[in-house]
Structure 1
């Protein structure tokens, strides 16, 4: 009896794992196609180095819907243009005279600090369109780029901070706090910049995952409805499949109690003899039938002599979709997909005893 429940658990977990992988694959394809990770990173760097595009605004949209509507399709791409050349050997100082700016009490001239940072990171870029594809910056590389910008200033770190404050860069406050905390020690300053940037990247990753959860929820809901994946109905199918196999095994062992029931099932299925019926049932387990209720189903011939055939199930699919009896199963499937493929893979390993590869 325990094996029945174990088979049920493994079947459900495997189904949720396959669907989660499908959701993750669609999401990853969307992210890579539109460069969402890279745009998200450089939107943050624009906010930190140059401030928002206009006063009071941010390059990263505040609303979840705007993040995945504005970042992928907006013409105002926050990423710098891709440059295949290596970083310039000579770093130009920040072209701002703080004394002149303060004396004139006029807005400081615009300085593209994000572009200046990209000049120091061109070696880790890969050609992918006209914009940079950098989606991850190691903290050590960021701190090294900051020191290269510092080396170009006459006053060193103090000179760079003064110019950043003159142009209104939000980075000035962060670097000044790190500089004072390092007690004006250059080695401690570099370590402090690394630690600060690493913390900012962790915070940014948390924010990105928070946005992605809503996308995963939307994709999971859409795929669940399109595939007609009712988790409760699928669980019942697994139990019936297990019971059928157990009955066939009992008949093969010499018991004739279930033979009449087997003949009735085969006759209802249209099979002429039990052997053909049993073969067809064993070759089409519950897992193979998981997508039978999708809006478009696929049938693969058992002998492989013909090409797979596609069938439009619009009528049956719509009846299942509007039937309240299937809604609890749909809801369970969507909730299960929110846990992600890694969660279900870990559960599957625990149930089956599969061990991960050791280093």
Structure 2
């Protein structure tokens, strides 16, 4: 019995960490949408890849980021075709679209008319050289290197333009890998800061929550039921609203899960998702807020409170995917630990002795 209670408390606490992590993720998405981090990071990474470098001797190099953004293949990815600035820049560019746009700029004649120069290697190399002033030394030399690779691949019937496009896609993906790493580090930093803010604002004290779970079997059972529903989802992106939906007679306790948002309404969608996740935490039945737990005099109370808040904040900053995986494993352990009920032998026939 003791082991079962301890396991139930652990599942309930893990479920609280998961719900808090989802709220932090929603807050991070809201900040990313408000400040356009993805679009700005993509534009900065693109300039680093094809535009000007930071450093001496590069001031004369052209920045073709604007030309790429205004290319018909990429223009539809952002709202304002007349500008190539960060404010209207796309937050994602498919590698294939980037490669096709860059090669169209590099291999199309200077007057912008006619077919791409892609008949043979010599013509492709000469056409790229004529665009050096427009493309810049870095992009020109990179494309010429790719053309040399195509020339080395002398297999009969090789698709020269297709091979060149695949090399440009790989080059773009490598550059965007650095952009993703920058975004990931920023997101991790803000997740830690948001964890501190949410935990302190809602008074999500891990020690206090653990005591409530240990003393309230109804609360434990409620969280176990919600956790069981949550682990049936394939991933935490499905959120916990289905598991934490209040009874039909009290529909005002939760906000509905917002539908998938289009780009113009991404900020509003992120805000509604944050409201939903905070509402979900309030519905769990755990002690939340400072009204019934005001600060008390005494050093020990503050030590205990700060420790409990830090535990919740550090745990929630690990991220929803981490706690979702932990919840699935611990829930499986709990299900596997159940003893099967004894068989009903009240009506079973008794063995008859054989003949002597």
TM category, shorter: 0.5 to 0.7
The residue number in structure 1 matching 2:65 is 114
Q: Give the Cα separation in 2 of the matches to 1:205 and 1:235.
A: 37
The residue number in structure 1 matching 2:233 is none
Whether contact under 8 Å (1:20, 1:341) holds in the other structure is: yes
Structure 1: tracts of 5 or more residues without a match: 59-106, 247-284, 298-310, 354-359
Whether contact under 8 Å (2:62, 2:135) holds in the other structure is: yes
1:225 pairs with 2:200:
yes
- The Cα of 1:317 is off from its aligned counterpart by 8.6
Whether contact under 8 Å (1:51, 1:169) holds in the other structure is: no
- The range that moved more, 331-340 or 19-28, is 331-340
The residue number in structure 2 matching 1:292 is 289
Q: Could you say which structure has the greater relative contact order, defined with CA pairs below 8 angstroms and 6 or more residues apart?
A: 2
The residue number in structure 1 matching 2:114 is none
Whether contact under 8 Å (2:8, 2:220) holds in the other structure is: no
The residue number in structure 1 matching 2:295 is 316
Q: Give the Cα separation in 1 of the matches to 2:168 and 2:296.
A: 56
Q: Give the Cα separation in 1 of the matches to 2:220 and 2:199.
A: 28
Q: TM-score under structure 1 normalisation?
A: 0.59
106, 121, 144: which is aligned to 1:150? 106
Q: How does 1:263-282 map to 2 (within 5 A)?
A: none
The residue number in structure 1 matching 2:212 is 237
The residue number in structure 2 matching 1:35 is 36
CA RMSD in angstroms, aligned pairs only: 3.7
The residue number in structure 2 matching 1:213 is 188
Q: TM-score under structure 2 normalisation?
A: 0.59
- The Cα of 1:137 is off from its aligned counterpart by 1.0
Q: 1:199 to 1:240 in 2, by over 3 A?
A: same
- The Cα of 1:164 is off from its aligned counterpart by 3.5
Q: 1:22 to 1:128 in 2, by over 3 A?
A: farther
The count of residues paired between Structure 1 and Structure 2 equals: 248
Whether contact under 8 Å (1:153, 1:160) holds in the other structure is: no
Whether contact under 8 Å (1:49, 1:113) holds in the other structure is: yes
The residue number in structure 2 matching 1:172 is 140
> What secondary structure, in the 3-state scheme, does the structure 2 residue paired with 1:182 have?
helix
- The range that moved more, 114-123 or 125-134, is 125-134
Whether contact under 8 Å (1:139, 1:197) holds in the other structure is: yes
Q: 1:228 to 1:57 in 2, by over 3 A?
A: farther
Structure 2: tracts of 5 or more residues without a match: 111-122, 153-159, 222-281, 333-356
Q: Give the Cα separation in 1 of the matches to 2:15 and 2:127.
A: 60
CA deviations 1:200-245 (Å, max 9, x no partner) are 2233212210221111111111222222222123212211113998
Q: Give the Cα separation in 1 of the matches to 2:308 and 2:45.
A: 40
The residue number in structure 1 matching 2:177 is 202
Q: 1:174 to 1:232 in 2, by over 3 A?
A: farther
- The Cα of 1:111 is off from its aligned counterpart by 4.2
Whether contact under 8 Å (2:51, 2:65) holds in the other structure is: yes
The residue number in structure 1 matching 2:151 is 183
Whether contact under 8 Å (2:68, 2:74) holds in the other structure is: no
Q: 1:197 to 1:292 in 2, by over 3 A?
A: same
Whether contact under 8 Å (2:69, 2:89) holds in the other structure is: no
Q: 1:322 to 1:123 in 2, by over 3 A?
A: farther
1:51 pairs with 2:52:
yes
Q: Give the Cα separation in 2 of the matches to 1:320 and 1:337.
A: 26
